[in-house]
Structure 1
Amino acid sequence: MSDVWPLRRSPEGTRRDFRRDQELRLRLSGQYGPEWWEVFPVLLLVLVLVAAPLAALGWLWTRLGWWAALLGAAALGYVVRAALRRRRQALARRRHRAACFTLDQIDAAADDRALRSIVGRLLRRDGWQDVRGVRVTDAGVVHLVGHWPGGRRLGVAVERGVDGTGPEGPRGAGTLRSVGSGKDPVRAEPPPVYLVVSTGHYARSRVLWAARTGVHLVDRALLERWAAGEDLAVLLDLDLEGARPESA
């Protein structure tokens, strides 16, 4: 029997002293759970929040009738729904503030990957989904791709701009390339959004190129407003709602 279930004896003192030593070690290491008096107020609050509405509904049923209990349940559901909505809005505002940046933070990005990470967070903040980096050339050029909930696709080239524009403007963006099934993105429905984000400024030749090809440019001034919290669709006047596919 001792081989199957060996008895453990305290190394010194009584078994109660051994248990106290074990409890002290757990407390010092932070592994000991809360005491009953620490969780009792929370349990009491949960009990009150659950029992009080049920008791009120039962009182309405017995005193006034089933219709009063039904109205009370509807009012309770409305209050709970409003509270949950306010909670979600508060969490959304907190996430929005967490995804806001200053130009100093953007300029301090260690490399192009960190800069793309910031732009990706801004896109996800504004509602773009499945935002990820995709290599588009053998030289290692990476663009961001994603899509709007209505189905509209997105392609983003991110570049570190330079203050002062040359004849070709900041280098590195080039022409945005389609990523995916290989279909012509110009003929896709709804049409994709092509975007070039730069921490600097664009030369006139780059602006003319963007106007001809339908590419949206985000320069340093727009990037500052976008990073501070403004929505990209509002800044660029994107008709994202109109891009939602019609239901069959």
Structure 2
Amino acid sequence: MSDVWPLRRSPEGTRRDFRRDQELRLRLRGEYGPEWWEVLPAFLLVLVVVAVPLAALGWLWARLGWWAALLGAVALGYAVRAAGRHRRRAVARRRHRAACFTLDQIDAAADERVLRSIVGRLLRRDGWRDVRGVRVTDTGVVHLVGHWPGGRRLGVAVERGVDGAGPEGSRGAAALRSVGSATKPVRTELSPVYLVVSPGHYARSRVLWAARTGVHLVDRALLERWAAGENLAVLLDLDLDGARPEPA
């Protein structure tokens, strides 16, 4: 029989020693799974959550009849649905708070790329989809683009502006590049939304230019409110052809 099924010893001592050695190596690498006493509370919780409602429905069926069990099942389903909606709203609120910034954080942005990343997070927080940066000129100028679930397209030019610190630390007019042909308004039913965002202030000539071209300006005051949690569509009174989705 030994020729057919030869007996072999473990590489190191007995098989129990070998298993202990392998388990120790997995633990040292952090690859060993949880122990049974670590998963037992979660297992008991799931068992209670499932068993208690089923037991209650069975008691209603036995004592009052099938109609009482049916009403109980409907009430249970409604409660589960309400709990799920409450959890989704709580998660959305936490994500919304995580995507809020202060002016100090915005001013501390190392360069325009970091500021553009902050603006992109704010847009995604407000419900804009597929927000990404695109190069619009050969000199490396990058704008943000995206779209609204209803079809509206978005174009954003981001500028850090220049510091004109005076005696009270006030900021001067933001030095902004022209939005260019990529942000010329299109006169259609679903015309794109174009923004210029800066943590500075705009000169009067820039405000007049934006009014002529249909571009929305987000200056330091609006940026502070937007970054703190207010919705961009509300701040700029944008008509987005439909209700705003929950923040992502």
Q: TM-score range by the shorter chain?
A: 0.7 to 0.9
Partner amino acid, structure 2, of 1:186: V
1:229, distance to aligned residue in structure 2 (A): 1.0
Structure 2 partner of 1:48: 48
With 210-219 and 8-17 compared, the bigger mean Cα shift is at 8-17
Q: Deviations over 1:144-195 (max 9, x none)?
A: 1111111111111001112459xxx53343034338xxxx852232121111
Which runs of structure 2 are paired with 1:179-194 in the superposition (5 Å)? 185-194=185-194
Contact 1:143 1:158 in 2 (8 A): yes
Aligned residue type for 1:237: D
Alignment partner, residue 151 of structure 1? 151
Q: SS where residue 202 of structure 1 aligns?
A: coil
Q: Determine whether 1:175 maps to 2:179.
A: yes
Q: TM-score, normalised by structure 1?
A: 0.85
Letter in 2 for 1:114: V
Aligned to 2:131: 131
Partner of 1:29: 29
TM-score normalised by length of structure 2:
0.85
What SS does the aligned partner of 1:131 have? strand
Q: Which amino acid aligns with 2:58?
A: G
Q: Which amino acid aligns with 1:230?
A: E
Q: Helix, strand or coil: the match of 1:144?
A: strand
Within 2, Cα distance between the matches of 1:77 and 1:219? Answer: 48
Residue 117 of structure 2 aligns to a residue whose secondary structure is helix
Question: What is the CA distance between 1:97 and its match in structure 2?
Answer: 1.1
- CA 1:209–1:61: 2 relative to 1, 3 Å: same
Match of 1:205 in 2: 205
Which residue in the other structure is 2:241 paired with? 241
Q: Which residue of 1 aligns with 2:169?
A: none
Shift of 1:208: 1.0
Tell whether the 8 Å contact from 2:195 to 2:217 is kept in structure 1 after alignment. yes
Q: Find the aligned partners of 1:155 and 1:243 in 2 and give their Cα distance.
A: 21
Find the aligned partners of 2:21 and 2:228 in 1 and give their Cα distance.
Answer: 54
Mark the CA change 1:63 to 1:210 in structure 2 (over 3 Å): closer, same or farther.
same
Instruction: Give the unaligned 5+ runs of structure 1.
Output: none
Partner Cα separation in structure 2 for residue 22 and residue 57 of structure 1? 48
Distance 1:58 1:21, change over 3 A: same
The one-letter code sitting in structure 2 at the alignment partner of 1:177 is S
Alpha-carbon contact 2:111-2:160 (below 8 Å) kept: no
CA distance in 2, matches of 1:174, 1:119: 18
C-alpha contact 1:158 1:173 (8 A) present in aligned 2: no
Which secondary structure state, in structure 1, belongs to the residue aligned with residue 195 of structure 2?
strand
Paired residue for 1:68? 68
Superposed CA offset, 1:205-225 (max 9, x none): 111111111111111111111
Q: 1:160/1:7 Cα in 2 relative to 1: closer, same or farther (>3 Å)?
A: farther
Q: Secondary structure at the match of 2:123?
A: helix
Aligned length: 237
- Identity fraction in percent: 84
Cα drift, residue 38 of structure 1 = 1.8
What is the aligned-residue RMSD (CA, Å)?
2.7
How far residue 8 of structure 1 moved from its aligned partner, in angstroms, is 5.7
Q: Cα 1:148–1:210, aligned 2, differ >3 Å: closer, same or farther?
A: same
